[in-house]
Structure 1
Amino acid sequence: MCSTARCCTGRGGAPGVVLFALAESAGGDGIVAQPGLDSLADLSGRVVGLHKSSTSYFFFLTALERAGVDEENLRVREMLSEDMTRAFLAGELDAAVTWQPWLERMARRPGAHVLVSSRDFPRTIVDVLVMRKQMADDAPQVCMGLARAWFDAVDWMQSHPVEANAIIGDALGIAPNRVADMLAGVRFLGREENREFLARSRPGNIFEVADRAGRFWTQRGFIDSHANRGFIAPEYVSGALRGPDRVGR
């Protein structure tokens, strides 16, 4: 969601709209540390690997803010996840901010452990489906059809976890049991979850998340303003939940 605020409201490019939410990280992202570093405060003066152009940066600063730790007191090394993993396993990094499957790989280093994860920060990293606004305006039935297809897929996965893990494992080239471990850190958002997430009256709704993300990227100069919430289009979820061929605002 935090990167969506950038792509939908950032400088240049075609305007986009959020159609519905796909999943929420619930442990799939985290900050992994070497032995002897037992809290975020212990990272002061330490070398931390981070990919600043990803949602990890938003998650990282959210965690630091809660812990009362200033980013300026850390020695941040910007790098991609693959390079970060190699550096952490070689002992060149004191900590790293990453996501699965790299989080699991780093945590297997002797003595390494996860300090905090996205499970501790709900509604911080949320994946959404974005479509170009012009296309969504021209084909609302397609938008609703995509939403219904996603909701059906989530229902099927929850009813057939063994089969689903086998399909995902085949696509990723990993064993189904490893898929199950990785998905333990992901919460897929189906019909009811989308209904609640897109309801303005609910705490932690998509508009609140977008505001937080918008402020974050505005402060760092990636977007000019986050005041316009028009890139969130809840009418497609509403229409999909009511049934075929019904869009309403």
Structure 2
Amino acid sequence: MKHTMKAIAALLVAALTGSAHAAETKPLKVGYNNWVGFIAFFVAQDKGYFKQAGLDVQPKVFSAPGEGLVPLISGDLDIHLSTVDAAILRSANAPGSLKVVALVDTSAGADAVLGGPAVKTPADLKGRKIAVTLGECNEVLLQKALQAGGLTEKDVTLVNMDPDAAGTALKAGNVDAAVTWEPWISQLVGAGNANAVFTSKQAPNVLTDCVVISAQGEKAKKAEIAAFLAAMNKATEFVKAHPDEAAAIAGKALEVPAEDIKGMLGKVTLYDLAASSAQMKGEAAKSADELLIFFKNKGSVDKDATVAGLLAPDFAK
């Protein structure tokens, strides 16, 4: 009887402790878009890593990387999974408002300029109607493609669309080419409906995904943000150690077969926190400077804009 009472008491203590722990989880509003490179985010949610870190992550999906940055600055989001170039554009217009605290991945073929049946090379883009997200990383990739074909934006007609809408438009034949991402690349090229005219593998370090926070978010939720990064790091390690299970989790989140996810992962390079810090102190910093120059030349940002303070390689330490 004593053993039974002890067992019951132990169960009650465990239940109460668990309830207390659940009550202690702190809300964290996180924006993201449906992108295979964010596989660690999907895994951390599925495996409970965020909850284990004391967080109640409240996800909100956006159709393009830059869309969540305004809500981030206004305080409607605590964290946004975005792209470095989008953070550069937004912070250049609001200096000191944003900080990139970690790199998640860099695209190495998972973004592409796709052309219809008659568009096979960058030079074939001349005179074509192209769907692209203007002012964001997709336009940067298109610029690289046009340069490879000896062309400029004056040689084509641009239609402003987010990457998913661009893929849909190309599939429907409403545009001649589209700047899009996975899973559209695999789906359209695999079905013989499109050609990969130019990919991010040909433009290294141009499209890099990152974790962005706001200045006010850093002051109010620095501990929670650090816990988020630790959970993401744990998830990244899981992806590398268990690629099949991770692909199944991401496939469910993205509504894509796991086998397709595995193929897509071969087109991105995932960063853990150590690699992220090293990149932000090296190649990613150089790329950020180059992107800033590109945007200045386009007139997207002021000539005196700077990326100083935007990259925070030591935030997680």
Q: Output the CA distance in 2 between the equivalents of 1:143 and 1:82.
A: 29
1:173 to 243, 246, 255: 255
2:314 — aligned with what? 235
Is residue 125 from structure 1 mapped to residue 210 from structure 2 by the alignment? no
Instruction: Give 1:4's aligned residue.
Output: 87
- The 5 Å alignment of 1:4-153 reads 4-11=87-94, 15-110=97-192, 112-137=194-219, 140-153=222-235
Task: Give the Cα–Cα distance (whole angstroms) in 1 for the partners of residues 291 and 242 of structure 2.
Answer: 34
Q: Evaluate the alpha carbon distance shift between residue 9 and residue 144 of structure 1 in structure 2; reply closer, same or farther with a 3 A threshold.
A: same
| Displacement after TM superposition at 1:32 (Å) | 1.0
Bigger mean CA deviation after superposition, 184-193 or 17-26: 184-193
**1:25-52 alpha-carbon deviations (Å, 9 max, x no partner):** 1111001112243321121112222121
TM-superposed CA distance for 1:93, in Å, is 2.2
> What is the correspondence of 1:184-203 to structure 2 with a 5 Å cutoff?
184-199=266-281, 202=282
Q: Check whether the contact 1:10–1:223 (CA below 8 A) recurs between aligned residues.
A: yes
CA displacement 1:189-246 (0-9 Å, x = unmatched): 11342132022xx4xx222121122223333343324324112112214x2xxxxxxx
Asked if structure 1 preserves the Cα contact closer than 8 Å seen for 2:122 and 2:148, the reply is no
Question: Larger relative contact order (C-alpha < 8 A, sep ≥ 6)?
Answer: 1
What are the ranges of 5 or more consecutive residues in structure 1 without an aligned counterpart?
Answer: 240-249
Structure 2 counterpart of 1:197, one-letter code:
Q
| CA distance in structure 2 between the aligned counterparts of 1:139 and 1:84, rounded to whole angstroms | 36
Q: Which residue of 1 aligns with 2:245?
A: 163
2: CA distance between counterparts of 1:109 and 1:89?
Answer: 10
Share of identical aligned residues, percent? 24
**How far off is 1:140 after superposition?**
4.6
Letter in 2 for 1:216: F
Greater percentage in helix: 2
Give the number of aligned pairs: 233
Partner secondary structure for residue 187 of structure 1: strand
Picking from 243, 263, 286, the partner of 1:208 is 286
After TM superposition, the score normalised by the length of structure 1 is 0.82
Instruction: Return the offset for 1:155.
Output: 0.8
Whole-angstrom CA distance in 1 between matches of 2:164 and 2:220: 40
- What residue number does 1:245 align with? none
Q: Aligned letter for 1:7? A: R
Q: Determine which structure has more spread, i.e. the larger CA radius of gyration.
A: 2
3-state SS of 1:232 partner? coil
Residues 188-197 or 151-160, more deviating: 188-197
In structure 2, list runs of 5 or more residues that go unmatched: 1-83
Q: Counterpart of 1:223?
A: 301
Residue from 158, 163, 182 that aligns with 2:264 = 182
Q: Distance in 1 between matches of 2:183 and 2:264?
A: 7
- Shifted more, 102-111 versus 114-123: the winner is 102-111
Q: Distance in 2 between matches of 1:154 and 1:83?
A: 29
